[in-house]
Structure 1
Amino acid sequence: MRRYYEFAVVVVLISILALVLLKALGRASNEMEEAGVQADVAAIRIGLMEVVAHRETFGGSLPKSDNPLDWVASRPGNYLGEMDGVPDSNAVWYFDHQARELVYRFRDGHRARFRLSRDGNVDSPKAVVAGVGLLRLEDQRE
């Protein structure tokens, strides 16, 4: 009978450790997705800086579009295009045409929003060249 109690205690301890591990893996997964979004945004910002630097060097005008992905040569692989509402799929990029925001929809449903800035009077001058930059707005939760 004593062995059954020992076995039950071991099973409970392993179950608790498994739950703790699963929670930690979930947090790590969310952090990896956020890191991927930040890497994509960094690549988009570099593309924007290339466009502005080219214009500053050779002249010409900047694109008229408010969609920063119309400005750059490469787009994230999971970019759906311009939309008027929130798509059904998760882990995708899209441009919200009505709000004029580039949006990444996470797997958990919340959205990271970015807006193309064309004026030099921004609070965060990080990655802003000649007044053009990609600014992160407050995330939206569902």
Structure 2
Amino acid sequence: MTKGRGQKTEACRVVGAACQLPARSADKKPPSIFSPRSSECGFTLVELIVVIAILSILAGALLNRVWFYQEQAEKTAMVEVAGAIQTALVLQYGRLMVRGTEDEILALAADNPMSWLAKKPGNYSGEFYDPTPRSVAPGNWMFDLKARELVYVVDRSEYFVPGQSGQKWIRYRVNLMREPAQEAAEKKLKDLSGVLFEPAEPYRWL
């Protein structure tokens, strides 16, 4: 009986030893996420680089769209001011035509269009004699006393194509329109067919 019990106890010890997991060495370090080949971490180094590259591309595309919409907002604001000036010009022209004051009508071409507005826009910087694009901050209006033109200096110009001057601005002038048959003849008040507030040179702003 004693011998049988001893064999059984020895067998249990052997089985228990086989079920025990080997102890982890104290010198073994945990795997690093920067290890090029690791089966125990979430990402390998290559996968991490790919993820960062994809996120960078998406962030760049998002910023590009944000800048595009900001530029479109600037363009829309400028067009709205130009439209308000055109409306004010037509009202001025109609009022002067009723009164029949030829000199005042002809003087519209030299007036500062901002004077026709009940309230000037906040980004109007005033009058300058023979200004340059650096005379005012980008995104502002100014009146050129020498050329008698209203000028808008473009701020965001990624999609802006300037005219022949090559400057990043848009110059507006008042154009007194006349009947085609009277262009070469003597210019009289009755020959006028209207007024137009238009760019002095063509440009493109996508």
Alignment TM-score, normalising by the size of structure 1: 0.79
Q: Residue 118 of structure 2 aligns with which residue?
A: 73
Report the secondary structure of 1:117's partner residue.
strand
**Secondary structure at the counterpart of residue 58 of structure 2:** helix
Q: Distance in 2 between matches of 1:57 and 1:41?
A: 25
Alignment equivalent of 2:194, drawn from 131, 134, 137: 131
Q: Which residue of structure 2 aligns with residue 125 of structure 1? A: none
Indicate yes or no: 2:60 matched with 1:19. Answer: yes
The amino acid of 2:118's aligned partner reads A
Equivalent residue letter for 1:135: E
2:71 paired with 1:8: no
1:76 match: secondary structure: coil
Distance 1:80 1:121 in 2: 36
Question: Aligned ranges for residues 8-87 of structure 1 at < 5 Å?
Answer: 8-60=49-101, 61-62=104-105, 64=107, 66=110, 67-84=112-129, 85-86=131-132, 87=135
Aligned residue pair count? 134
Q: Which of 170, 192, 199 is residue 112 of structure 1 equivalent to?
A: 170
CA 1:132–1:37 in 2, change beyond 3 Å: closer, same or farther?
same
Q: Give the gaps of 5 or more residues in structure 1.
A: 123-128
Taking the aligned partners of 2:179 and 2:117, their CA distance within structure 1 comes to: 23
Residues 107, 121 of structure 1: alpha-carbon distance in 2 compared, 3 angstrom cutoff: farther
Larger radius of gyration: 2
Which residue identity does 1:95 align to in structure 2?
A: F
Q: Contact 1:121–1:131 (CA<8 Å) still a contact in 2?
A: no
- For the Cα contact (< 8 Å) 1:96–1:102, is it kept in 2? yes
Normalised by the size of structure 2, how large is the TM-score? 0.57
- Seen in structure 2, the aligned counterparts of structure 1 residues 88 and 48 have a Cα distance that, compared at 3 Å, is closer
Q: Aligned partners of 2:46, 2:127: CA distance in 1, in Å?
A: 61
Which residue identity lines up with residue 105 of structure 1 in the other structure? V
Q: C-alpha deviations, 1:59-97, integer Å up to 9, x for none?
A: 444372512223343322211121021214111000112
**Is the Cα–Cα contact under 8 Å of residues 51 and 72 in structure 1 kept in the other structure?**
no
Question: 1:18, CA displacement in angstroms?
Answer: 0.6
| 1:30 Cα deviation after fit | 1.3
Cα deviation 1:73-122 (Å, max 9, x = unaligned):
33222111210212141110001122221110011471011111123369
Q: Which moved more, 1:64-73 or 1:11-20?
A: 64-73
